[in-house]
Amino acid sequence: MNNLTIYAGPCAVESKAQMREIESCIKDLGLHWMRAGVFKPRVSPHSFQGLGYDGLEILSDCRLNTITEVTETSQIEAVMNACSAIQIGSRNMTNYALLKDIGKKTMDFPILFKRGMSATISEWLSASEYISTNGNSNIILCERGIRTFEDSTRFTLDISAVPVVHKQSNYPVCVDVSHAAGDSDLVPSLACAAVAAGADALMIEVHPNPMKALSDGPQQLNLIQFEALVTRLRKFGRKLI
Ligand code: PEP
Ligand code: MN
């Protein structure tokens, strides 16, 4: 069985102290990746928008591999200098101009490409070709939940997407369980389901104090909950990285 990559970290970079605390936790667990947003595409312009380039500077000091979202072409170069991978968020899956620029400007830099919340798998795979045909095929596809009539979760995690994408493409599949769930209590079950379905990677939001988080507090695991989940995930016998 291949490795299971865990992209863990806060919804957003909030401070140096917050990042140091999460970084130590991830490192102590023997994991290698930190996720954290600095350019936050929020539903409301009145919500916390991320620390922008100041946040990127904090992220660049992290002694782990890092991944952050890019929302505009002008951010690509700075993110490539500061981080180890680029994320394209759900809201930008159909921003074809951005996808083309990512393809052209990033060579084989890893790109985590999220599914649009209302996109079919076929539309998602097709959109990924805007990146690959413009020069970068180092793509990780990330399922993050879709909109359905069900409203007891933030989005409906489409577990079927994992085997379907594996059948239709050669790209690794990541599952972002946190944005799908919208509720930290549901995250461990969804993470185990994703691994059982064959996911190559998981994205999990983790915060030292979720109640005080500036964004997505209800869905973020605290450090103790994250440690417990990692212990549970080790039972699948995959090497966690
Ligand atoms: C995120 O991962 O920070 C994020 C905003 O997720 P999504 O694009 O899936 O909503
Ligand atoms: Mn978030």
Q: DSSP for 105-134, please give it.
A: H-TT--EEEEPPTT--HHHHHHHHHHHHTT
**Ion ligand 2: residues, CB < 5 A:** 11, 216
pLDDT band per the 50, 70, 90 thresholds, residue 180: very high
pLDDT one-digit tens code per residue, 90-135: 999 999 999 999 999 999 999 999 999 999 999 999 999 999 999 9
One-letter identity of residue 189: S
Q: How far is ligand 1, taken at its centre, from the CA of residue 238, in Å?
A: 26
Whole-structure pTM value: 0.98
Atom of ligand 1 nearest to the CA of 11: 3
Nearest to 201 by CA among 189, 211, 191: 191
- Cβ atoms of 64 and 25 closer than 8 Å: no
pLDDT of residue 1: 64
193-217 per-position pLDDT tens digit? 999 999 999 999 999 999 999 999 9
Greatest distance between any 2 Cα atoms in the chain: 45
Chain position carrying tokens 């989005």: 155
Q: Do 8 and 33 touch, CB atoms closer than 8 A?
A: yes
Whose C-alpha lies nearest to ligand 1, atom 8? 89
pLDDT in tens, 43-86: 999 999 999 999 999 999 999 999 999 999 999 999 999 999 99
Q: Are 85 and 113 in contact (CB under 8 A)?
A: no
Question: Rounded to whole angstroms, how far apart are CA atoms 70 and 207?
Answer: 21
Distance of CA 43 to the CA centre of its chain: 18
Model pLDDT for residues 32-54, shown as the tens digit of each residue: 999 999 999 999 999 999 999 99
